């Protein structure tokens, strides 16, 4: 994990996680191949936590999903190109929660999109939550001051993926962009939550909030929820150590 060995940065991340009123957190770009319960409990702030990780490849990638113990019944996990998913039992039906860290290359993105579409077709019907760094934008307005990743064909393919998955890009509050270059001149909305309509309705989701940039060039994002059984900020993800060229 880029900066995981840096004590100050690790403490700041732990502070961010422990200060949030949420039950599940998705982290991308861990850059780490091993985790243990002691490490995760220190990150979460107590032992009342469960977790699942996808190891990095050398100093690249890596995903970590952590959630409050007994939040839901875990059915199974699944992984593939640029994602780590869990299927849980929620409100009497399957809920698929997918932590995303998309490859930068268009071929890698196509593999990610194709794998998830095929997975959905070949598994029981349920609700969906995708959250993380998609490394792609849906509209030209989601990018400012930089090139690359904003090509029309890529935007169209990303949009087709969202349609095939039957997901909704819910309204954004807070900042308009989730990634900022070091000099602040370039910015993009690479990170987001994509949700199924049923999850939005049953979870009482009203939007997604892009927070302030802190220990990363990516901003933390969380869902805004009005239902008491999920809490005011049920899910959150923090892309903490990614550096994009």
pLDDT at residue 184 in the model? 76
pLDDT at residue 48 in the model? 94
Interval 131-184: pLDDT, tens: 999 999 999 999 888 765 458 899 999 999 999 999 999 988 888 888 887 777
Look-up of token digits 């990150």: 43
pLDDT at residue 231 in the model? 37
User: Comparing 225 with 87, which gets the higher pLDDT?
Assistant: 87
3-class state of residue 39 by DSSP: helix
Torsion, CA 54, CA 59, CA 61, CA 67, rounded to 10: 50
C-alpha to C-alpha distance for 197 and 199, rounded to whole angstroms: 6
pLDDT at residue 217 in the model? 78
Interval 42-97: pLDDT, tens: 889 899 999 999 988 766 788 999 999 999 999 999 999 999 999 999 999 999 99
The CATH fold assigned to 7-239 is Deoxyribonuclease I; Chain A (3.60.10)
C-alpha to C-alpha distance for 191 and 229, rounded to whole angstroms: 26
pLDDT at residue 23 in the model? 87
C-alpha to C-alpha distance for 115 and 176, rounded to whole angstroms: 29
pLDDT at residue 5 in the model? 52
User: Comparing 58 with 107, which gets the higher pLDDT?
Assistant: 107
Radius of gyration of the chain (CA): 17
Interval 29-39: pLDDT, tens: 888 888 899 98
**Contact between 43 and 35 (Cβ < 8 Å):** no
């Amino acid at each position: 994990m880029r900066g995981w060995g840096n004590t100050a940065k690790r403490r700041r991340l732990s502070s961010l996680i422990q200060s949030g009123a949420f039950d599940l957190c998705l982290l991308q770009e861990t850059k780490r191949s091993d985790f243990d319960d002691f490490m995760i409990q220190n990150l979460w702030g107590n032992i009342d936590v469960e977790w699942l990780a996808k190891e990095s490849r050398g100093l690249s990638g890596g995903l970590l999903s952590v959630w409050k113990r007994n939040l839901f019944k875990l059915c199974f996990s699944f992984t593939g190109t640029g994602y780590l998913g869990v299927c849980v039992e929620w409100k009497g039906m399957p809920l698929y929660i997918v932590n995303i860290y998309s490859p930068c290359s268009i071929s890698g993105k196509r593999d990610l999109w194709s794998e998830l579409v095929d997975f959905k077709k070949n598994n029981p019907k349920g609700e969906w939550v995708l959250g993380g760094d998609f490394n792609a934008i849906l509209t030209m307005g989601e990018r400012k001051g930089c090139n690359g990743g904003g090509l029309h064909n890529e935007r169209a393919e990303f949009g087709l993926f969202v349609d095939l998955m039957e997901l909704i890009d819910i309204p954004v509050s807070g900042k308009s962009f989730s990634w900022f270059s070091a000099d602040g001149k370039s910015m993009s909305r690479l990170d987001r939550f994509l949700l199924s309509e049923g999850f939005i309705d049953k979870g009482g989701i009203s939007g997604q909030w892009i927070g302030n940039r802190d220990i990363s060039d990516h901003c933390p994002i969380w869902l805004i929820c009005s239902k008491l059984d999920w809490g005011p900020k049920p899910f959150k993800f923090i892309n903490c150590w990614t550096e994009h060229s």
